[in-house]
Each structure stands twice: as C-alpha cells, then as structure tokens.
Structure 1
Amino acid sequence: MLASQLQLHHLSAVLLHQTNRKAAPTTNTSKFPHLFPISYSLHQHQPQALQNQDTATNLHNEDNILRTHNAQSTALLLHHLSPQEQQNSHSPHENRPLLRRESKEKQLEISRVNKRAPQFPGSINANASSQTVNSSSKSEKFDDDGMLMKALEIRRKVTVEIFKDAMRKGKFGITYVNNLVLELSDFIDFVMIQAASMKQLPEFSMSSYNVRAEAFIDDSNVVPLIRWLKHNSLSYPQIGRLICTSRGNLNSIRRLAEWLKLIHVNGRFIGVALTRAGENILERSLEDLDEIVEYLEDNGLRRDWMGYVISRCPEILSFNMEEVKFRTEFYLNMGMDRNDFGTMLFDCPKVFGYLSVEEMNQKVAYLKEFGLNNEDVGRLLAFKPQLMICSIEDRWKPLVKYFYYLGISKDGMRRILTMKPMIFCVDLENTIVPKVQFLRDIGVQEDAIGSVLARFPSLLTYSLYKKIRPVVIFLLTKAGVSQQNIGKVIALGPELLGCSIVNKLDHNVKYFLSLGIPLPVLGGMVANFPMLLRYNIDVLRPKYRYLRRVMIRPLQDLIEFPRFFSYSLDERIIPRHKIMVENRVNFKLRYMLASTDEEFTKRVDAAVGRRRSFEAGIMYDQPLDSPDDAVIENNAV
C-alpha cells in the first residue's frame, strides 16, 4: 500500500515537471527558483518519503500558479492524492471543482442546441450577443424583422468592400472609390440580389457569397465603364446616378453616350444630358432619337447647333415624336419662320423642352394683353425667347404693377416690352428699383420718371455703378452741367446715359470747347439740348463750317440755338438758306429751321411783303424786329 502511494506521488511529480517544461521550455530554473519549487532533479537527492511529502505540499501551495492547458487534469490528480480529511474540510480549493462542474453544465447546455447556425460572411450568430446560454430562455424570441435588417446591412457592407476591391484593382484612388460608393447604393443592392440568385446556377452552387459577388462585378464590366465615363468628364455623382438608373443594363449607358457624341455633345455636357434626359432615356432606341433630331433639323435647327441645344435642354430627348411636333407647330403657328425657330432654339433651348404646354399657352396669352397680336408675339419670342422661361406671378405681374405706379401707360409698357424685352426678365427689387431711386435723387421729377423709362427702356438694363453714375458725374464735372440742371438733362436726354464717356462724350466736349465756348456756357447748351453731346463730330464739323463761313453767322447764334446741329445740312439748312438769300430776307436760326416747309414759306412771303411795303414808304405800327416776325435785310447774304 505504501509502495503504491509512493509510486503515485512520484508519477505526479514527473507530470508536474513535464507540465512546467511544456509551459516554459526555455526557462532556466536556476534563475527563477520561486517559479519552479519542485524539480525532478531534486527528487533524486532526497529521501522518497520526504520527496512525496514535499511534493504533495508544494503542489497544494502552487495550485494557484498553474495556468497551462493541462492544469485541470493536474488539479484532479492532486485532489485524488489529498487525504480524506482535507477533501472533506472547507478548504479554499473546494470551489474549483464546483467551477469546473458549472463549466461542464454550460458546455452541456450548448451541446444540447438542436443545430449550429451556418457561418458565412454577413451572417449573425444569435448566441454571440450573450456570453452564457440559459436553457430556461427558450420562450424568448428574436425580432425577425430587426434581425433581417441587420443581416442585410452586414451583407451590404460586405458587398461594398468587394466592390471597393474591384475598383482598387482597376487603379482607382481610394478617395474617388469612397466618394463613388456613396452614390451607388442602389447598384450595391442590385449586386446583392444578383449574387444571391447565382446560387441557383450549377457552377456557383458550392461557391461562397464573396465569390459570387466578385464574379458578377467582373462580368458586368462596371469598372471599365466607370473608367470610360470618367475619361469623358463625368463626375462621380453623374456616374453613380447613371449606373443606378440603368437597372443593370450598363451597356445602354455607353451606347447612348456614343450617340450623343455623334450629334456634337461633348465634354461634361454628356453627363448632363444623360442624367437630365429622364429615367427612361436609357431604354429608348437610337432610331427614335434620330427621328427627333432629323425633325428639328428639317425645321431650321442646324446640325452643328444640335449638340448645344441638347446639352442645355436634354429634356427634349424624353419627348415622343407627337409631342415634339406639337411644340414645334406651337411656335410656327405664331408667324415664326423656320429660320427664326432654329435661332430661337439656339438662343434659349429651354423654351422648347423646359415648359409644359399649359405654361406656354398662359404666357402667350399674357403677352397678348399688352396689345400684341399673334404675329407680334411670334416676332417678340424670336427676338427674346428668354421671356418664355420667366414666371408670370413672380416676375411679370409685380413689374407691371410697379410701372403702373410710376405712371407708365399700357402703350408705354408695350413699347418697353417690344424695345427691350429683357426688362421683363430682370429682378425688380435688385435691378429696377435702385435705378428709379437714383433718378429721384439727381432731381428728375416724379411725373417724368415714367416717360424717361418709356422713352429709353435700355436705361434699366445698364449697371448703376459702372454706367449710369459715371455718366452723371462726367456731366457735372467735365461738361459744365450744374447740379440744378442735371435732372433736367437726364429727363430730356436719357440717351446720354447709354453713351461711352471715352469714345463719345469726352470727344464732343473737347470739340465744343475748341470752338471757343466757355465750359459754363456749354453746360447751359447741354441743359437746353442734351442730345448735343451724342452727335458724331464728323457730322458736327460740316454744319458749323457752313454756319460760320457761308451763312456768316456769329457763334452767339449757335449758343442761343444749339438745336441747329440736329437738322440735316443738305435737306434743311442749305435749301432754306438759299430761299432766304433769293428773297433777301434773314431769320434767326430758330425761325429758319424749327418750322415745317409750309410755315417757312408763309413766313418768307410775309417778310418779303413787309420789305416791299417798307421800300414803298408804308410804315407799320408793329416793329420789324418783333420775335414773331422776320428781320428785314436789304442786301442778300
């Protein structure tokens, strides 16, 4: 009995020694004696009984240190070798078998689960959320919808990573790939569906989901298509939108893009045309699109303009042939010829494909309320087609009310509309109101502002700080116009605001100053006749030369009547001067020129009669130098 116990003690020492060697095979026991209290070599130099006693004692003392894979088997052996009274006593080691027993019970409960859930990329382990499995929780059920959504989200993330790997193999940058994936959510879902359906194919029946997803992405040629679209200047939002709207038919994208190049759509406008032409554009046949292009070309739209029109209004490609014909006839029926129709489409392609038919009819009817007939509206739209894309409620009606407040009549509004239709397209608060307020500030009378705008509508299209204000400052500082007269000058001649300071106004001012006219006097002449500064010097010079050398008139006559330069030299000045010379009479420039031919003839006959009566000795009570009568001159000029 004693021999058998000694053998068991010796066996336990050997096992413990082997355990320590396996746990730390490279450890030197001489350097770490406190970690290896029992050594097989020490047993050879000690008595057998002492070795057994020390072994049992050291094993119990070092039980807390053992952390190797066979520590539990060693603990069981030590528990078997311990005396009976120690086993029955309440030692601190009696909890270990209990802990091991609980661990076994847990493992047993796990083994009793019916079937282990299959593990694959994107799957969810129902037991992963809890560290222990409680057999009594069979009544608890997982939320099927929540679990399904979570599984789909995980599968989507796996698909995204597979797509990113395919893009990186295609030599795309990381940033570009990440930005593009954000635009391809629908395509990622499409890849998931197709990869799942490929499980039914014999060649993929035993393949994993990753293999099937990679195979589908490669077969779809989406990566080369993305590179081709990027090469054609498409941004990643446009590429993502196209791929998602193609519904898997990626070849239709390349086919339509090549067709757009044939009609002269190039550069970044290919992406604009593809994304704005409508979701069904990828499903349309090229024959239908060619029919639309040929019809527009037959009605005045040149072939080399087609790309520009389609680029600015791709919605045209979404129309069927009946709607294209209806919209074309809508403009042609207003008296617009085919050349004007083609020019209108080139100037503003949105008038054809941006508006609905109802909106087009409403705007034409509103324009006719200004007194325009159908042909007038056609000419107006051919000249300024941008009118059709302006809102009636937001743009036209507030402008008409403002013009009515300024005293502009309906005829004046029609004049503004026909002469400068762009005014009905500009912003009222930011463009028109500040210029009207500026006219008030410089002294233009309130009742004259409406007539100024109706007379010169282009004033409202000029820049206030780059055009209008500089001209007013020039008139005040360089042309001699006083501050009291500047409002009068602008009211009488608003066309001055459209003249160039460098090329027109400055040259005219220098010319009149060179004639000997003082600057303040010139300012008074401009106040009386503002158009004086608008004439070409080549027109002014012959008239002045005739006045001074032929008519032999003083400069004062020109100062008193600066409107002299407004009359034609060959048709008005020279013929009337000859009549005066032939009849030996002389008038002031005002009475000589500012009258009709009939009035001038009566005035000449009256002057000749008075001269003859004077020569005959008949005296008149009315003085001959009355401002209403001619000045008699005995000798011909």
Structure 2
Amino acid sequence: MAAAAATMTAFHSYSPQEQQQTQVPQTSDTPQLSKKPKTLLHKHPLYTPVHTKLSMQFREKILCLEVMGIDSGKALSLNPLIHSITLNSIHDTVSFLQSKGILQKDLPRIIGMCPKILTANITDELNPVFKFLSHNLNVPDHSFRKVINKCPRLLVSSVENQLKPALFYLQRLGFRDLEALAYQDCVLLVSNVENTLMPKLDYLISLGFSKPEAVEMVLRCPGLFTFSLDNNYKPKFEFFEQEMKRDMKELKEFPQYFAFSLEKRIKPRHLEAMECGVKMSLQLLLKTTDEEFAELLKQRTKSVVM
C-alpha cells in the first residue's frame, strides 16, 4: 500500500510534458522510479537484455503497474494498447475510479481481470457505466465499489450495445429485483443475449421443459445462464437421466442441480446413497453438508434395516 501510494504521488509530480522526457526529475521527496526496475523488476521478461532499448517512459509505466500490484506482463498481453498510453493517462483512469469509490487495494484485481480499463475512454466508456449503474439499476454512489468488485467486466462493457440490451432481456423474462441484478447477478449483464443467454434457455426447453418452466428455472437459479453447455449442462443431464434415472420434475423443482460439481458432489453422493439403499430428494442429496448427509444416510439406513 505504501509503495502504491508512493507511485501515485509520483504521478502528481509529473506534468504531461515531463513524462515525455527520458530522464525523470528527482527530488528528495520524489521516489526514484528510474532506479527501481533493477530491484523490483530485475527478473521481469520486459527487462531482459533483449529489451535494453526500452524507453525510460515505458520502463516507468511498467514499474507503475507492478508497484500497484498489477502483473504488467499479463496486462500487456491482454491489452497491447497499454504500450501507447502515458503515465498521465493511467493516473487519470486511476483517479477517476477512486473518485467513484474504488480503493487502491481493489485495483490489482479489477485491472488484473480487465486490463482494457486502462485504455478505456473516461468520458465515453467508463463514466457511462457508472451512470447506467445509478440510473438503470438504482445503485447509490457509495455502492459502486461493491458492484465493480463483484464484476469488473462491467467497466469494459458497452452500455448501449451490451448492458442495456442484457438488462432489458432479463427484465422481459421476469427479473424484477434490480438489487439482486446489481449486487449478486451482475455477471448476467455482461453476457451476450444472443450468444450466451438465449442458448441456455433454449437448451432447457430442448430437454422437455416448456418455455414458462425454463424461465421459472432461471429465475430461481440465475446461475443457469452462466454454465457451459458442453462442460456443464450436457454431462450433468446425461448422468441425471441415464444413471440417476430421476424424474424431470425434480430437476424443475431444483435447478440448482447444475450448480454442483459432477465429479466431486453429484456422482459420489448418488453412489453412496445407492450403496446404502437410501432414497432422498435431489435437494437433500446435494445441498446438505457432508456431516448432514452422513447423518441422513445413517438414520435412513437404520430405518431400512428395521
């Protein structure tokens, strides 16, 4: 935290013109950023002999990211445009986020997950997101941090082309709780309607559920919109249908089934219950803790024996 604060202090001590210079003015109060790469980033790939001709400004920019706790190598690989932005631009973005309640300690995770934030236009891209949170989701200013920490991708999503269409689609389906959408299920807002949300609903309908039934399932378990068709839905439904041989009504009543691990939860619990000759609802089978499940097996096994 102290190092990050020192870096931000250094930002304030440079004018845009000074940042273009190859040498950084130093005073007794200014961190000697030009010397730090030798200790902080000596082993960083960008500081190998192959890159000895890197400009001082670029070195300072990399150091700035690293001191803030951001993996500069990963950030650059995910967003090459960082090469062309200035220290002053990074400072403006960080200052803007902090003005919205984002704390210094939040930056490594937020920017680490979405390095495009650093090159986003504050006026045309970042600020509209906060207006969307305020006007469309009724998020108060003091809660911006909570929402952004929950889903940093909001900051790199177009309000007009992504966030609003997703919100309108979800509201048409019956999502009425704006607070839940903002603080719990905001990942749905950064999901593409045609390529992500609709195919999940269509898959549930293809299993034999009516559209109203499928909609009710996603309303009860919004996470259904986030699961992979190939890696989640299909193998779990195949096991449900072929191995568990349970009634589809149970799946409709407990759609959270798809949220549990097939290998670590569903299969072992099912097999253990089968070995004990115990039948229980899908919810009890999966939602109970290990201790509760063991106790249920013990009690019901006794009753079967008696």
Question: Does the TM-score normalized on the shorter chain lie above 0.5?
Answer: yes
Partner of 1:71: none
Shift of residue 445, structure 1, vs aligned partner: 4.6
Distance 1:387 1:531, change over 3 A: farther
Distance 1:265 1:333, change over 3 A: farther
Shift of residue 402, structure 1, vs aligned partner: 1.8
Q: 1:508 aligns with which of 269, 276, 281?
A: 269
With normalisation by structure 2, the TM-score equals 0.71
Larger Cα-atom Rg: 1
Looking at structure 2, the residues matched to 537 and 306 of structure 1 have their Cα atoms a distance apart, in angstroms, of 42
Residues 202-261 of structure 1 deviation map (CA, whole Å, 9 limit, x = unaligned)? xxxxxxxxxxxxxxxxxxxxxxxxxxxxxxxxxxxxxxxxxxxxxxxxxx9xxxxxx9x8
Q: Is the 8 A contact 1:316 1:352 kept in 2?
A: no
Looking at structure 1, the residues matched to 271 and 83 of structure 2 have their Cα atoms a distance apart, in angstroms, of 56
Shift of residue 448, structure 1, vs aligned partner: 4.3
Partner of 2:114: 348
Shift of residue 338, structure 1, vs aligned partner: 1.2
Looking at structure 2, the residues matched to 287 and 440 of structure 1 have their Cα atoms a distance apart, in angstroms, of 56
Indicate the structure with greater helix content. 2
Q: Does 1:381 align with 2:148?
A: yes
Shift of residue 541, structure 1, vs aligned partner: 2.0
Distance 1:306 1:500, change over 3 A: closer
Partner of 2:224: 459
Runs ≥4 in structure 1, deviation > 6 angstroms? none
Q: Give the AA of the match of 1:405.
A: R
Count of residues paired in the alignment: 266
Partner of 1:566: none
Partner of 1:628: none
Q: Does 1:286 align with 2:34?
A: no
Partner of 1:438: 203
Looking at structure 2, the residues matched to 548 and 318 of structure 1 have their Cα atoms a distance apart, in angstroms, of 67
Looking at structure 2, the residues matched to 307 and 358 of structure 1 have their Cα atoms a distance apart, in angstroms, of 27
Q: Does 1:364 align with 2:130?
A: yes
Shift of residue 362, structure 1, vs aligned partner: 0.6
Looking at structure 2, the residues matched to 415 and 331 of structure 1 have their Cα atoms a distance apart, in angstroms, of 23
Q: Does 1:480 align with 2:250?
A: no
Distance 1:441 1:293, change over 3 A: closer
Counterparts in 2 of 1:168-317, with a 5 A limit? 264=44, 266=46, 286=56, 290=60, 301-302=68-69, 305-311=71-77, 312-315=79-82
Partner of 2:295: 542
Distance 1:286 1:512, change over 3 A: closer
Shift of residue 436, structure 1, vs aligned partner: 0.3
Counterparts in 2 of 1:561-572, with a 5 A limit? none
Q: Does 1:396 align with 2:166?
A: no
Looking at structure 2, the residues matched to 501 and 295 of structure 1 have their Cα atoms a distance apart, in angstroms, of 43
Q: 3-state SS of the aligned residue for 1:266?
A: helix
Shift of residue 416, structure 1, vs aligned partner: 4.0
Q: Is the 8 A contact 2:93 2:118 kept in 1?
A: yes
Partner of 1:570: none
Q: 3-state SS of the aligned residue for 2:244?
A: coil
Residues 332-357 of structure 1 deviation map (CA, whole Å, 9 limit, x = unaligned)? 22332211123222222211223343
Looking at structure 2, the residues matched to 320 and 341 of structure 1 have their Cα atoms a distance apart, in angstroms, of 16
Q: Does 1:333 align with 2:99?
A: yes
CA RMSD of superposed structures (Å)? 3.8
Residues 531-556 of structure 1 deviation map (CA, whole Å, 9 limit, x = unaligned)? 4234455432224435676xxxx449
Partner of 1:83: none
Identity over aligned pairs, percent:
18
With normalisation by structure 1, the TM-score equals 0.37
